[in-house]
Every structure is written in structure tokens, then in C-alpha cells.
Amino acid sequence: MTINKIANGADLIIALDGRLDTTTAPQLDDELKASLSGVKKLEIDLGKLEYISSAGLRVLLSAQKVMNKQGEMIVRNVSEEIKEIFEVTGFVDILTIE
């Protein structure tokens, strides 16, 4: 998985490319933990994400909890396959998906 990060003041965009699973989730978790200090708006772009596992869902949930305290988190460009996973797991009610 590739993580592309664009920081602009208090805004941070994280674009994911590939598969977010048990192998790559720790990498994203570490990147988010290192990057979220002072961020008011976190945008996660899943346009090139092919797959997300429960480990990946946990990382998104963790990021959402942090952003609930300090700003907002938006998930964009969700494919039909990943949107279906979000619906089945109830994440459509937790995440702001655009």
C-alpha cells in the first residue's frame, strides 16, 4: 500500500493506494499517529484503495475518535466494494463519507 500525504496548515489529506489489511494497517496507523497533532480537518481519499480488512477499519475508527476531539474527518472517493463493507459493518453511521 502507498500512503500519499498532503499537509496544508491545519488540513491533512491522506490518499491510500492498494490494500489496507493486517500487513499495511500498522503503517497507516503509525503515519496517522505521527501526523494528526494540530490537524483540524482530516480527509482520507480511498479512490485507489482496492480492499480494506477489519484491521484497516480499526485504524479508520481510531483516527475518527481522535478527530472527533480536535476537528473533522471526511472519507472521500469510496468505491462500491468498500462502501458495501462500510454498510455491512455499520461504518456508514460512524464515518462522514462523501
Give the angle 1-8-21 at the CA atoms, nearest 5°: 20
Per the confidence metrics, is the pTM higher than 0.85?
Answer: yes
Q: Give the dihedral sign, CA 22/24/30/31.
A: negative
- 44-98 confidence digits (pLDDT tens): 999 999 999 999 999 999 999 999 999 999 999 999 999 999 999 999 999 999 9
The residue type at 6 = I
**pLDDT reported for residue 44:** 98
From the candidate CATH numbers 3.30.750.24, 3.30.1330.200, 3.40.50.150, 3.30.1130.10, the one assigned to the domain spanning 2-97:
3.30.750.24
- 16-50 confidence digits (pLDDT tens): 999 999 999 999 999 999 999 999 999 999 999 99
Domain chopping of the chain, boundaries: 2-97
**pLDDT reported for residue 55:** 98
User: What would the grid cell of residue 38 be?
Assistant: 494540530
Q: How far is CA 40 from CA 49, 71, 76, 85, in A?
A: 24, 4, 17, 27
